[in-house]
Structure 1
Amino acid sequence: MFIRNESFYTFRRSYPIITALVFIHIALFVWIHLLPGGAWVYATGVGFNLAVSQGEYWRLITPVFLHVSIGHLVFNSFALVIFGPALERMLGKGKFLFVYLLSGFIANVATYYLGGLAYPYHLGASGAIFGLFGIFVYMVIYRKDLIDPANTQLVITIIIIGLVMTFLSSNINVFAHLFGMIGGAALAPIVLAKARPFYAFAVAADDREVRFDPNRWKKRRFTRGIGKKILWVGLGLLIAIGILSRLF
């Protein structure tokens, strides 16, 4: 469910929305920091409550696509690549994009009303990603048919770590994290109404892969074992990057 062992070609075919979102993250980050007009893009798109109060309502959604540092970019994009694919498959492309954007919007609306006009600039996909976490929380509590015990344990661990980092790390938009998760959990009963478990879906095939291998089952067990280790190492790196990106 969370182990990624696809080739880039297969991943792109299987999860086009996540691929597009990560591409947008990277493209806008490069534009802001390296290309002409980047300062304008940042100034126009960053979350700024005072500007929202003056009618610049697009700032309730544009911050979802912007990132301030390479650590911030890698942290959110990696989290999206790890935790997004299962939901894109289970919900479908349209519902997944709807939940992702609406969770980010809810996070920024909460920041506007609870943070006040003096709240500093804010940006990042964290609110939307916590919206995905909110869906997993709902699944763990109310839709156990959609998630197995091993992945349940992983989800609970990651969410606890995410919440601890939210309150202990500096320069984090606490309102966005909390209300992004609440928004995702609130939307979950609607978007999960007809959902099927992740394993019930076929994975897009790469035509260049070998179709038959007599040792495929041994390799699959080996790959899963290695995949789980890589996943935990990756999550450790994700946490480390998140902490460092807040410190520097």
Structure 2
Amino acid sequence: MFTRTESFREFIRFYPVISTIIAIHFLLYIFTTLPIFPNFWFKATFSGVNLYIREGEYWRLVTPIFMHGGFTHALFNSFSLVLFGPALERLLGKGKFVLVYLVSGILANVATLMLEPLTYVHVGSSGAIFGLFGYYISIILFRKHMLSQQNSQIILIICALSLIMTFLQPNINITAHIFGLAGGFLLGAIFYTKKRG
């Protein structure tokens, strides 16, 4: 389930949403390195800056999901998406996967706006990726038959380790990680309730 055996072309064909998100990650990173888009200006325009969001720049609740602080940051989050996103994209379908990913990321950014200082600045897709973990947890709790016991254990262990690292690593948006996780879980619970109803 979490082992990738597809070729590059097969991956793009099987998982178009994830492929598009990763392409956006690196295109935006490249833009930050071009002389015509000075790094400071580009990040200042699209990063999450709580003060500017409060003043009406609401696009900053969405754009930070696709922005990163550097190549390593973009690579790590994209790698996480490659590992844990495909199974959900196939399971949910393109539209619902986009919904879970974006809503989790936006909820993480709204929580950051509400709970962090006005001077707080953030970028990164980890809130949305934690939303995927949250959705997996909802499957484990409400639809156990959809995941094998082994895959469920892998998800729970990785989720626990990721949460621990959230509190140990510097420069991590703890609020986004926690609320992204909660958002994905709630979406999974809502979808499960609707299916039963």
Match of 1:160 in 2: 160
> Against the structure 1 CA distance between its residues 194 and 90, is the aligned structure 2 distance closer, same or farther, given a 3 Å change threshold?
farther
1:26 positional shift: 0.5
- Counterpart of 2:122 in structure 1 is 122
Q: Name 2:144's counterpart in structure 1.
A: 144
The residue correspondences of 1:137-216 to structure 2 (distance < 5 A) are: 137-191=137-191
Q: TM-score, normalised by structure 1?
A: 0.75
In structure 2, stretches of 5+ residues that fail to align are none
Q: Which residue of 2 aligns with 1:210?
A: none
Could you give the per-residue CA deviations for residues 56-108 of structure 1, whole angstroms, max 9, x where no partner exists? 01101100000112211111000001100000000000000011011000000
Shift of 1:35: 4.5
Cα distance 1:192–1:23, how it changes in 2: closer, same or farther (>3 A)? Answer: farther
AA of the residue aligned to 2:169: S
Q: Distance in 2 between matches of 1:193 and 1:87?
A: 18
In structure 2, distance between residues paired with 1:117 and 1:133: 28
Any runs of at least 4 consecutive aligned residues in structure 1 with deviations exceeding 6 A, and if so which? none
Shift of 1:36: 1.5
Superposed CA deviations along residues 123-148 of structure 1, whole A, max 9, x for unmatched, are 00000000000001111122101110
Q: Match for residue 82 of structure 2?
A: 81
TM-score when normalising by structure 2: 0.94
Shift of 1:16: 0.2
135-144 vs 58-67, which deviates more? 135-144
CA contact (8 A) 2:100 2:184 kept: yes
Q: Distance in 2 between matches of 1:110 and 1:194?
A: 26
- Residues 7 and 139 of structure 1, relative CA distance in 2, 3 Å threshold: same
* Separation (CA, whole Å) in 2 of partners of 1:35 and 1:104: 29
C-alpha RMSD of matched pairs (Å)? 1.4
Number of paired residues?
194
SS at match of 2:122: coil
**1:22 equivalenced with 2:22 (yes/no):** yes
Give CA deviations for 1:156-199 in whole Å, capped at 9, x if unaligned.
Answer: 1100110011011110000000000000000013345699xxxx
| Contact 1:95–1:191 (CA under 8 A) maintained in structure 2 | no
Larger Rg over CA atoms: 1
Tell which has more relative contact order, 1 or 2 (C-alpha 8 A, sep 6+). 1
Unaligned runs of 5+ in 1: 196-248
State the distance in 1 between where 2:49 and 2:119 align. Answer: 9
